[in-house]
């Protein structure tokens, strides 16, 4: 995941400013990213499926459980 600078861990996201906070004209406050708690958060897609147990089912999964990005700013 380190080869793509847009992907961050939820812990590192806590230190990034939310782009939506700046879009309100009367906003004089800054808000930090909520990471996976935000509706715009997207988990990073893996290059190859990873086999793990999720919801009591073992199988291939296409998305990371450790890295993601803001869906509002990613192109």
> d(Cα 42, Cα 62) in Å, to the nearest integer?
12
Band (4; pLDDT cuts 50, 70, 90)? low
- The pLDDT of residue 9 is above 90: yes
Q: How far, in Å, CA of 17 to CA of 19, rounded? A: 6
Looking at every residue in the chain, the average pLDDT score rounds to: 82
pLDDT at position 54: 81
pTM above 0.75, yes or no: no
Compute the C-alpha angle 19/14/10, nearest 5°: 105
**Average pLDDT of the residues in 22-33:** 65
């Amino acid at each position: 995941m380190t080869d793509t600078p847009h992907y961050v861990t939820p812990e590192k996201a806590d230190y990034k400013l939310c782009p939506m906070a700046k879009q309100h004209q009367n906003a004089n406050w800054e808000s930090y990213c909520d990471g996976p708690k935000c509706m715009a958060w997207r988990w990073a897609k893996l290059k190859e499926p990873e086999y793990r147990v999720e919801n009591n089912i073992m199988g291939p999964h296409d998305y990371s459980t450790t890295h993601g990005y803001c869906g509002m700013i990613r192109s």
